Structure formats: structure tokens, C-alpha cells
Structure 1
Amino acid sequence: MSKHTYDYGLIGNCSYQAHIHKDTTIEWMCWPRFDSSFIFGKMLDNDKGGGFSILPSGEIKESKQYYLENTNILCTEITSEEGRYRVTDFAPRFHQYDRYFKPLMLIRKVEPLEGRPRVKVSCEPVGDYGNLKPMQYEASNHIEYLGLAKELRLTTNFSLSYIVQDNYIVLNETKYLALTYGAPLEAPLVSTCETFLDRTKRYWRGWVKNLSVSNFHQADINRSALVLKIHQYEDTGAIIAAGTTSLPEAPGSGRNWDYRYCWMRDAYYTLTAFNNIGHFEELERYFNYIVNISVKSRERFQPLYGITGHEMLTEQTLDLKGYLGNQPVRVGNQAYTHVQNDVYGQILAALLPLYVDRRFINVERSDSLHLVYDILKQIDQLMNEPDAGLWEFRTLSQYHCYTYLFHWTGAKAAFKIGKMFGDEKIVRLAEKLVKESTEKIEACFDASRGVYTQAIGSKNLDASNLQLIMMGYLENGSEATQKHLKALEAELKSSEGLFYRYKHADDFGEPETTFLICAFWHVEALTCAGRIDEAIKAFENLLTYGNHLGLLSEDVDAKTGSQWGNFPQAYSHVGLVNAAYRISRKLDKPNFL
């Protein structure tokens, strides 16, 4: 089987994302929000999906795609028999009037580079997941697409007639295309596009300049940080797992899920990454998201919510062909109904820096200590309840070691918060829960193998238990750490250095592909265990599993190196950032430039 990669670049501005193929086609873009219907969805259905392309006359002889350094601005250079041209794509984002300007606007700048290439501009938006095709009509300098919830407009200095009639146009000067949803562009096209391009470039480079990262693989960390930033829906603070749906974990597996929602667990790891690289704005926005959810989630938290905090994420199957024919195509996610009790500890651990880091003004948080106590009480009530675990088993409920680890971690975080604010009620309950969760974790220990198993009474091993090392439950470099790590490696590590989540059969059979973040967890565990040279080698090996832009998928086929799962996956880029941070702290180098 040949190696499969996702030949897309990603752009975004914290309001929306767009996936752009190496041939210039925008094959996935949801408006007005991450979880809205796509307006371009060719990725999931070539016929019904719609797309936005700037293709040459004749075959593409060469395609080169790259980001402007330290930005989320994507360039695609196309070479055909007639010449060469470049498409620069970006979602405007910059400071304006003391806030961020991040409109529902996509700008495409098209420049001739060599010869006299002819190009065909095709813009075919759809609505309602491909069931609605808007009416289009030409105005003086734009094309309007009518029938969606709001007006969609393409403003351009290309010939409108040539676009509408599907004709090729000689590209002998720079052209611009601005696609807008709702508010149209009612300003000079060329100067506005150039101004927005310049200001967006300066914004992203300023954002990267404020990262606190080591010399260790700095460019890779910067790219991952840029990817993670545009996975936050800034309006509410929610952080999505990925901007796509139904990209299969393995071809023909049926493991096709919608990841355009905010998982409490994923958000914890993402915020840890932002904290590690010195960016705190994202954490403060997420705090507000959690506070708003907690008001209506007094009984228990769901594992995931919509980006506006909505709870009902009813799973549906769409009549679409699917990525490379992989069906079903799902929207919504049944996991919102699951019992996944690790989320409580993850919320507490994610919010810990806001309470104890002196860079934050703690008095702002003291009035929300009731939230900390309420979450602790929920952990107390759920200590003896089995759950679906972090891998979201649909038909298997167990007493998962990973869940108890995060009861332990959350209680430890709450203890620190209680001590900081002198809240004895929090301190006493946290101490009780640390003790009880420790007993539960130890009940997962298999003494004959020296390893902690997936759940109490289970013999199965689980890569999530690498976290026992990373979270400090097992002491760095101890004999117990070494034994536990080696046992997990023996069963779950592939010969290529990748890691399976687990090997036993679940609702869909045995997993066929490895889970990339598990391999990054392995790198962190190696570092904690003092096997630093192995950690560096393993980390650098994992970098080879990115696509042409260094973007990482959720899953990797160990034998072929193929990328699978939703893409790019925030989880995987989080793994890269956190593993690099862990290594950099161990290396005898300055942590900061």
C-alpha cells in the first residue's frame, strides 16, 4: 500500500478555518463557524461538496506549497506548461480599535511569476452540507451567491464573465479575490487586500515573537503553536480537537468522527502547551468558556461541548461519498452522552495556572473558588463510578486507571489552589480525594509485570498510562517508572517507534493505526525516565510523519507511514510542543533565546 498524506495547508483567524489543497482548491471550509455546514466540502464529496480553485490550463507540472515564515499565511506555487503563478491565501487577523479584527473573509492573491499562464477561477459554494446550491448573479465588481443564511459575495478584479462562464484567463498581472460572508467588502479591493495582508503578516510574526521557546526544534514548535492558535474559537474561548469531520482513523474502519467540538480533555493538553510556550491569553478565554458551561452543568460535565457551550451534539449520518469513499460521514458526536469522569480533574489542572501563577491577578479568580469546590465534590461523588474512559468506548464501562490519575491530578491542583487562597474546605476535600484516587490507581497495578493496566481488574495495557510518569505520579527515574515504561513499550510500541493506544478489540475491532499523541507521550515519558538520547531520537523520528508543511494527523499507519484521522489534529501538535518543552528543560541549554 502506498503512503497516504493529507496534501493540504490550513489557514484561519480564530473565527474559521480553510483547508487548501496543493492544487489551490479550497476543499474544506465551514462558515460562519467551525461547526457550521461547509460551504466548500470537496474533501468529503467531489460532486456535492463544492470548492474554490484557481487551476491552470493543462496539467500541473509542479506544485509547491509553503507558509510565509512564522505566519498562518499560505502560498501555493503552480507550474504548468504555460508558466508559473502563486496563490497567497489568508484569513485576515490583526489588532484594530483595541480588539482583534477577524472577519468572515478569505483573501486570495494571485500573482504571475513566469511566462503567461492561463488560469480558471471556479467558486462553487454550497449550503446544508451539499444539499443547497446558492443562486449566483453578477454585479458590477462582484458575484453574489444567494440562498444561504447570509449573503456570500466574491469581490474580484478578475473578469466576472470569465469566472461565471468557466473560461480561462491570461494571468498577466496580480489579481485579487475576496470572499465574504455577511458583511461584504465595501472598500478599494487592491489596497485593502494588500493592507490586510501586511497587517496579518505583522500580527502573526509578532505573536510568534512573543513565544517563549527553546532552541530545540524551534521552527517545528512555532508551526505547531500557529496551528494550535487557530483551533481556538476566540468568541467563546472554546478549543476544537480538529476542524474536520469523518476523516477515517484507518481506511474502511468506520471510525469516522466529527471533531469540530471542544473536548475538556483535549483543551487541557492544549492549554498546557500554550502555558509551556508563554502564551496565556488562550487560557483566560478558556476560563470564561468553562465558567459559562459550569453554570448549566451543575450535575455533571459532558466530555465535550459545542463551541458556544451547547450540549446537544446529536450524531447524524450525511448522504455524502466520504473522504476517498470512506463512509459514514458524520456530523455531531455521540460521545457527548458518554460518562468520562477524567474531565473534572482536567478542568482543575487546566485552570490551575490562573489561580497560582503570579503573572495573573489572583483576586480576579477568588470569587470563582466555588467552581473549584463544586468540581471537587463531583469527583468525590463519582469516585466509585465506572466510565467510558478517554478513548470513548461505546459499549465498555470500566474503572479506568487514567480517570483515577486525573482525579488525583485534579485534587492535587485543587489542593494548591486551596492553600493559595487559604480555603480549608477545598484543602481538606482535596487531601481526601488524593488518598482515595491513589488507592484506585494502585488497584490497577499488575505486580507480576510491574505495570499499571488499563483498568481495575483488566490485563489490557493502555498508552494513556504513560501519563502516570508524565504527571509525576511515578517518580522520575525510579525503578517503578522504568519497569512500567518498558512493559508499555514491549506491548504497544511499533518497530517504527510509533504507539498504539491499546491492542485489544473495541466496538470496531482491533485498532489498525497508531495514535500520534501517544508517541509524543512516550517521548515525554522517556525524558522523565532519564533516557534523554532516546527521547530526542524518538522525537525527531516523529517529525517525519508530518505532511509537506509539517502538519500532523491524528493517526499514522505504522507500516506505511500514512496519515489518517482528522487533520490537522490539535492533539498531535500539542504532543509535539509539550514533548519538545520537556526535552528542552532537560538539555543543558538556556530555555530562552
Structure 2
Amino acid sequence: MPTFNHCVRDGDGYVDLRSYAAIGDGRTVALVAEDGGIDWLPLPDLDSLPVFARLLDGEDGGHLSLAPVGEWTVARAYVAGTNVLQSLYTTPTGRVRVTDSMNLGATGRLPWGELCRFVEGLDGEVEMAWCVSPGSGLNAYSSWAEDTGNGAVLRVDAVTMAVRAVDVGNTTFEDREVSGRFRTSPGSEHLLALLSSQGEPLRMPSTAWIRRNLDHTVQHWRNWSEQFTYDGPWREQTLRSALILKLLAHEPSGAVAAAATMSLPESAAGGKNWDYRMAWLRDATYSLHCLIALGEFEDVHAHVSWLLRVARRQQPDLPVLSRLNGHQPDGLVRHDVPGWRGIGPVVSGNGAAGQLQLGVYGDIFDLVHQYVLDGNVLDIETARFLAGVADHTCDLWRRRDAGMWELEERRHYTSSKMACWQALECAVQLAEGGHIPGQLDRWRREADRIRTWIDEHCWSPQRQAYVWYPGTDQLDASVLLHAASGFDSGERMSSTIDAVLAELSDGPLLYRYSGAAEEEKAFLACSFWAANALGSVGRGKEGVDLLERTLALGNDVGVWTEMVDPADGSFWGNLPQALSHLAFMTAALTLQNA
């Protein structure tokens, strides 16, 4: 494990986003900083209000802290093949190892929340301090703590939490928090656990049971990781990215969240702060692509079934995103808290739900096509639904949309038209294979019309590139996705890659589109898309070089955020970001033989 100096909290209690690792249980995700602070934990679900939110409110957000007292350095890594985190702290007086887990049970996810922090004294003596301090649920509630006959109980609205511990010193109660100190010695073991429920009684298992669940959790993750057949280059980071995606999968529904957080800014100027604790159809499609290629099948089926249920509910138009329970999100809610390092606003909900984004039509057909190619069979209702969506695409592609980047100004975005072409091409192949009924001749003719329209309106002889939209000479990195979709993997796409890299890149990092550098940081997925596109047009060595230079910018535990600042490598935007990990995995699979 690499060793580095501990993170430094600023005067308001914030740390660099690069400092965070993620743990989870299939229902929610906790973020753990290098200094042992759990600064983010929504309960009971990922899209619930957070009981710990120091990430967005340094003063009143709440945290669960556990770390050595005084000076220390830390080296961190996940237990191999798992989402269980281990932090090795070295102090002037000794060393201690902390294992952090969102526990599972013997048969899978528990019906209550169980966050386990297991401490082992390795050598010497180390004084440790801990504190459980719930926040205000983004200034919505007033939390409180009480000493009951069954130990320390803390409440935030309908969420009930309890502390269970072994050899962590005497517990001190102060208003809404509980805390304590203890000292490790060689071979000593200590346990601090937080149990939780919402609107129901709270199960209080013994500490021996909680410790046993930690072992179950490690084994559960290892069993899941053993499914993967991929043994190519970058295997360790590929598996880590797959495990991150598994953290973002909401097991009760089958949805895949775009990220574990909300309202982390895309630039220091603020304003571009979004809630990503929702499921984008686009991200779900990319997830399934990767999982199928890596040999996973249980989650693939759950995600496909969820996605098609959500899509059928909103037909004939396809949803851009949904809540994790499959319903459409409510309107935006603004919370009266400062935001990470004071960069607001802090909002929940997402206004993109009502947008027209033509890209999702290509996404859903590509997803189903891959699912069928993997040897699976569609039900009759899904087959008929997809035929109707293909017919709808024949008309819809002529409309302006918000594009992949969910922009306010509707245009004829090139990548959106390419996605419609992809949808109809996949529909034709599904129909030819007998998987869906429909008007094959119409779909073929309309796909040809789309291609001709793109060639006439979206190709710039001057730029030697597909432009962002007709009538401009500006560029859009999302066009590079269609090097692999089958639209164009020839000379035009190759020269488009050159133009995009020349205009949008800063080192190995790329901005989303022309002018984005003035508004936000570089978008990490774009670097991996470019690497994948290079591989798709036969320039694999260049793709490998770009991929490896981008990977070098990661944090110590392989967790990626949405954006990176080319100037200093700092992380920006929500994290862990599914799209960043998905883009890497896709590129790795394309380039494995390059």
C-alpha cells in the first residue's frame, strides 16, 4: 500500500475529495476520509437524507470519526476482491489497523444497517479517539442522543441509530453526540459499530455477531469477485471499478446510481452542483455492457429487468433518469447548508428528468442487443415495447434535444443523431434474429436517412471532424462514443479524434465540449472515451498510452470522481462516479490486446 501524509481538514472541516474511499452494503454508501472520518452516509437508502454530511456542511453536517490521537501517517487499501477498507496508521508510539465495513449477513444484505469499524493493535501503543455525531439531515432535523438501558441511541427524524462497542473506553454523552478514547496494544482488538433503522424497531445484535458479519462481508465480496473471467491488463483496477459499480447498485430495486453523492461542485465558481444519487438509463447501459463482458450475470439480469420496467412505464418516450425506486424524481429542493468548502448550492432532485435526450434510444437498444447476444431471451411484452420504441425513433430523431450533456439550449446534437442511428441498427438486428417484431424496411430506410443527414450537416471538411451540431465548428467529446457503436470507425472518426484531442485536451484529461474549460474542470470519462475510440479505429498503442496516463491521476484506493483539475490533479464533482469507472472499464476491454 502506498504511504502518504494524512489529509488536512481546513478551518471549516472539509478535506480534499481525493481523500475519500467508499464502502457500502447494496442499499447505501459511506465515504471514509484518510483521517478516519465518515463524512457522508445517507440512511437507510443512498437517496435518503444523510445522517452524516460533513462533506457538505463542515460545521453541522455530522460525522463518525475514528483515528489516532496526535501525529500519524496512513496507508490504505481495500481487502483484495472486496469493498471492505483497511487503513494502517503509523504513529510515533505504534501502529494500528482499522477495518471499515458496511456489513452483510450470512445470506446477504441485512434488514438493518450495520456499519462496523474493527481496530487491531499491531505494535506499540496507540491512543485512539472516536466520536459519533449525527448531523441535521441537511438542516432539516434536530438530532439527539440518549443513554438507554441498551446503550447509546441517537435519532435523526425517523432514523434510529445505536452504538455497539467492545473495548473503546468509557462513552461520553454530549447533547447530540457520543464519544470516547481507548488505547491499543500489540494483539488487542476493539470494535465500534453503528446500527440503524428507519421507522421500525432496531435490531441490537451482539458484538460477537457483528464481528462475525465482518467476516461474512469479506467472503461475500470475494465470492462476487470470483465470477469475473477478465484476466487482461489493468485487471486490478478493472476489478476495483466493477466493485465500485456494485456499491452503486441498489439491490432492492436493481437500479444503478450515477454516484453516491449530491451537490459536489464541478468548479470553484459553483452553480453546477447536481444530485447524482439517481439512475441514468445511459449509465445503466454502460454498466451492463461491462458486466456482460466481464462474465457477471446475476446483476446483469436485475439491472436489465429494472431498466425495462422503468422504460415501459414512461413509453413511448424513454426516461433520461429515475429515482432508485423507479419513480420519476420530484422537483429540485434547495438545502440551506454551505456546500463542500462553501461552494453551493446544495440541491436534491434533478431537473434533467423532463428533458428530451435522444441518446437514450441508442442506449436502450444497445443494452438489449448485448443482452440477447449473451444468449438471453426477451419476453413478449418487452419485444413489442421495443418495436414501438423503434417506430417512435423513426419520427423522433428529427427533433432538437438537450443532448448527452443535458444542456438548456436544444439543438440537433451530432451525438444524439448518431445514437438514433444506433437504435435503429440494433432494432434491425434484433428483428432479423427473431427477437422483436416490427417494420424492418422502415427502420433500415430511416437509419440510412440519419446517416446521410449526419454526413451532410455534421461533418466539417475544414475541421476534418464531426462537429458538435450543424452550423458550428465547435467539438464535442461525446461524438467519440460512436467510434465503438459502429457508426464510424474509419478515417473520418480517426481525424475527429485528432481534432478533439487537439482542442479539448489538457495533458491526458479532456473537457466535455468547446468552451467547457471556462466553466468547469476536465471530465474524466472523456479521456477514457478517447482511449477507447483510438482502439476502435485501429490506433491501440495511442489508446493504451492515453489510458495509462489517465490512470496515473487516480487516488490511492482507485476511487474516481466525475472531474479532475488538470492544473493540480484535484478531484471535483460527485463520487464515486459510475460513468468514470464505466468509461475506464470499456476502454480497458477494448484495448486489452493492443
Pairwise same-fold verdict (TM > 0.5): yes
1:241-263 CA-partner distances (Å, limit 9, x unpaired): 10011111122242111111111
Q: Which residue identity lines up with residue 76 of structure 1 in the other structure?
A: S
Aligned-pair CA distance for 1:39: 0.6
Q: C-alpha distance in 2, partners of 1:159/1:92?
A: 19
Aligned counterpart in structure 2 of residue 312 of structure 1, from 316, 319, 329: 329
Separation of aligned partners in 2, 1:262 and 1:136: 34
Structure 1: segments with no counterpart, 5+ residues:
588-593
Q: 1:239 to 1:429 in 2, by over 3 A?
A: farther
- The corresponding residue for 2:252 is 235
Q: For structure 1, which segment, 341-350 or 571-580, has the greater mean C-alpha deviation from structure 2 after superposition? A: 341-350
Q: Give the Å deviation of 1:74.
A: 0.4
Equivalent residue, structure 1, for 2:28 = 16
Q: Deviations over 1:442-494 (max 9, x none)?
A: 2211123221111122221111111231212113xx33233222222221222
Aligned to 1:189: 207
1:467 to 1:167, Cα distance in 2 relative to 1, 3 A: closer
Q: Is the 8 A contact 1:545 1:563 kept in 2?
A: no
Aligned partner of 1:435 in structure 2 is: 448
Q: Aligned partners of 1:575, 1:313: CA distance in 2, in Å?
A: 29
Q: Classify the secondary structure of the residue corresponding to 2:482.
A: helix
After the TM superposition, which residues 157-172 of structure 1 pair with which residues of structure 2 at under 5 Å, given as runs? 157-158=166-167, 161-164=170-173, 166-172=179-185
SS at match of 1:243: coil
Aligned equivalents of 2:227, 2:303: Cα separation in 1: 20
Which residue in the other structure is 1:544 paired with?
552
**Cα distance per residue 1:64-100 (max 9 Å; x no partner):** 221111110001223334433222111123662xx65
What SS is found at the alignment partner of 1:153? strand
> C-alpha separation between the residues in 2 aligned to 1:87 and 1:337?
44
Correspondence 1:65 to 2:115? no
Task: Report the CA distance shift for 1:295/1:25 in structure 2 as closer, same or farther (over 3 A).
Answer: same
Q: What is the identity, as a one-letter code, of the residue corresponding to 1:473?
A: F
1:29-428 matches, within 5 Å, as: 29-57=41-69, 59-93=70-104, 96=107, 100-101=109-110, 103-158=112-167, 161-164=170-173, 166-172=179-185, 173-182=188-197, 184-190=202-208, 192-358=209-375, 360=376, 362=377, 365-394=379-408, 396-421=409-434, 423-428=436-441
SS of the residue 2:581 aligns to: helix
Note the 1:466-481 alignment, pairs <5 A: 466-475=480-489, 478-481=490-493
Deviation at 1:341, TM superposition (A): 1.8
Q: Which amino acid aligns with 1:529?
A: V
Shift, 1:102, TM fit: 6.8
Task: Report 1:446-525 matches (<5 A).
Answer: 446-475=460-489, 478-494=490-506, 496-504=507-515, 510-525=518-533
Note if contact 2:269-2:343 (Cα within 8 Å) is conserved in structure 1.
Answer: yes
Gaps of 5+ in 2: 1-7, 9-14
AA aligned opposite 2:403: G
CA distance in 2, matches of 1:290, 1:429: 26
Q: CA deviation at 1:281?
A: 2.1
User: Is the 2:86–2:97 Cα contact (8 Å) retained in structure 1?
Assistant: yes
Distance in 2, Cα, partners of 1:402 & 1:536: 24
Give the letter aligned to residue 362 of structure 2: G
Match of 1:7 among 16, 19, 27: 19
- Match of 1:590? none
State the 1:271 CA deviation: 1.6
Give SS of 2:301's match. Answer: helix
Amino acid at match of 1:178: A
- Give, in angstroms, the shift of residue 46 of structure 1: 1.4
Structure 1 residue 331 displacement after superposition: 1.2
Shift of residue 210 of structure 1? 1.2
Separation of aligned partners in 1, 2:370 and 2:482: 21
User: In structure 1, the residue corresponding to 2:195 is in which secondary structure?
Assistant: strand
* Structure 1 residue matching 2:252: 3-state secondary structure: coil
Q: 1:486 & 1:388 partners in 2: Cα distance?
A: 26
Q: Structure 2 CA distance, aligned partners of 1:175 and 1:569?
A: 33
Number of residue pairs matched by the alignment: 571
Q: Match of 1:500, as an amino acid?
A: Y
For 1:20, the aligned partner's letter is: V
d(CA) in 2 for partners of 1:423 and 1:308? 28
Following the alignment from structure 2 to structure 1, what is the Cα–Cα distance between the partners of residues 510 and 382? 39
Mean Cα displacement is larger for which, 552-561 or 134-143? 134-143
Which of 516, 531, 536 is the aligned partner of 1:528? 536
Residue in 2 that maps onto 1:591: none
Write the distance in 2 (CA, Å) between the matches of 1:283 and 1:167.
44
Secondary structure of the residue that 1:313 maps to in structure 2?
A: coil
Compared with structure 1, are the counterparts of its residues 532 and 345 closer, same or farther at alpha carbon in structure 2 (3 Å cutoff)? Answer: closer
Partners of 2:204 and 2:491 lie apart in 1 by: 67
> Is the 8 Å Cα contact of residues 41 and 51 (structure 2) preserved in structure 1?
yes
Which whole-Å deviations, capped at 9, do the CAs of 1:362-413 have from their partners, x for residues lacking one?
Answer: 1x5244211211221331231221011111112x110011111111111122
Percentage of pairs with the same residue: 27
Distance 1:512 1:25 in 2: 28
CA, structure 1 residues 176+385, in 2 after alignment: closer, same or farther (shift >3 Å)?
Answer: same
Worse-matched range after superposition: 420-429 or 27-36: 420-429
In the alignment, residue 240 of structure 1 is paired with which amino acid?
A
Is the contact between residue 139 and residue 336 of structure 2 (CA under 8 Å) also seen in structure 1?
no
Shift of 1:134: 2.4
Asked whether the equivalents of residues 257 and 276 of structure 2 are also in contact (C-alpha less than 8 Å), the reply is: yes
The 3 A distance-change label for structure 1 pair 288 and 215 is closer
Contact 1:146 1:152 (C-alpha < 8 Å) held by counterparts? yes
Q: Equivalent residue of 2:119, what SS?
A: strand
Q: Secondary structure at the match of 1:545?
A: coil
1:504 Cα deviation (Å)?
2.7
Query: Please, which moves more after superposition, 325-334 or 73-82?
Result: 73-82
Partner of 2:121: helix, strand, or coil? Answer: strand
Give the CA deviation at 1:423: 4.6
- Give the C-alpha shift of residue 109 in structure 1: 0.8
Secondary structure of residue in 1 paired with 2:510: coil
Q: Hey, what's the Cα distance between the residues in 1 that align with 2:105 and 2:233? A: 29
Give the CA deviation at 1:180: 1.8
Q: Deviations over 1:146-168 (max 9, x none)?
A: 35214222222246742426443
Structure 1 counterpart SS, 2:90: strand
Q: Structure 1: how far apart are the matches of 2:42 and 2:442?
A: 44
Equivalent in the alignment of 2:5: none
Counterpart among 570, 573, 578 of residue 565 in structure 1: 573
Residue 61 of structure 1: how far off its partner (Å): 2.0
SS of residue paired to 2:433: helix
